[in-house]
Structure 1
Amino acid sequence: MTFVQLIDCRTDRFDEMNRLMDRWVEQTRGRRTATHDIVGKDRSDSSHFIEIVEFPSYEEAMRNSGLPETDRVFQEMVALCEEAPTFTDLDVVRDEQLNVLAARAFFEAMGRMEPERVGDHVTEDYVDHDPAYLRPVQGVEGLREQYADWKAAFDFGFRIDGQLAEDDQVCTRWTWAARHKGEFLGIEPTGQDVTMRGMTWQRFTGGRISESHWIYDRAGLMEQLGVLGR
Structure 2
Amino acid sequence: MSDHKKAIVRKLIEEVQVGGNYAVFDALMHPKFIDHTPTPGFSPDRDSVRAFYRAFHASFSEPVCEIDFQTAEGDLVTTRKVYSVTHSGPFNGIPPTGRRITFDVIDVLKVEGEFITAHWGILNLMKIVAQISW
- TM-score band (shorter)? 0.7 to 0.9
Matched AA of 2:66: R
Structure 2 CA distance, aligned partners of 1:212 and 1:193?
Answer: 27
Structure 2 CA distance, aligned partners of 1:103 and 1:153?
Answer: 23
Give SS of 1:202's match.
strand
Radius of gyration: which is bigger? Answer: 1
Q: Is the strand fraction higher in 1 or 2?
A: 2
User: Contact conserved, 1:159 with 1:175, CA < 8 A, in 2?
Assistant: yes
Q: Pairwise mapping of residues 80-159 of structure 1 onto structure 2 (< 5 A)?
A: 97-109=3-15, 110-130=17-37, 132-134=39-41, 136-139=43-46, 141-155=47-61, 156-159=63-66
Number of equivalent positions? 132
- Report deviation, 1:215: 0.4
Return the match for 1:204 from 102, 108, 111. 111
- Report deviation, 1:212: 1.0
User: Contact conserved, 2:32 with 2:45, CA < 8 A, in 1?
Assistant: yes
The TM-score normalised by the length of structure 2 is 0.87
Whether 1:174 and 2:81 are equivalent positions in the alignment is yes
After superposition, the C-alpha distances for 1:177-221 in whole angstroms (9 at most, x for unaligned) are 100111111111111100001200110121221111120222221
Superposed CA RMSD in Å reads 1.9
- 1:185 counterpart residue number: 92
The TM-score normalised by the length of structure 1 is 0.53
- The runs of 5 or more residues in structure 1 that have no matched partner are 1-94
Could you tell me the percent identity over the aligned residues? Answer: 23
- 2:128 counterpart residue number: 221
Which is bigger in relative contact order (C-alpha 8 A, separation at least 6)? 2
- Report deviation, 1:225: 0.6
- The structure 1 segments of at least 4 consecutive aligned residues displaced by more than 4 Å after TM superposition are none
Structure 2 CA distance, aligned partners of 1:184 and 1:129?
Answer: 23
- Report deviation, 1:164: 1.1
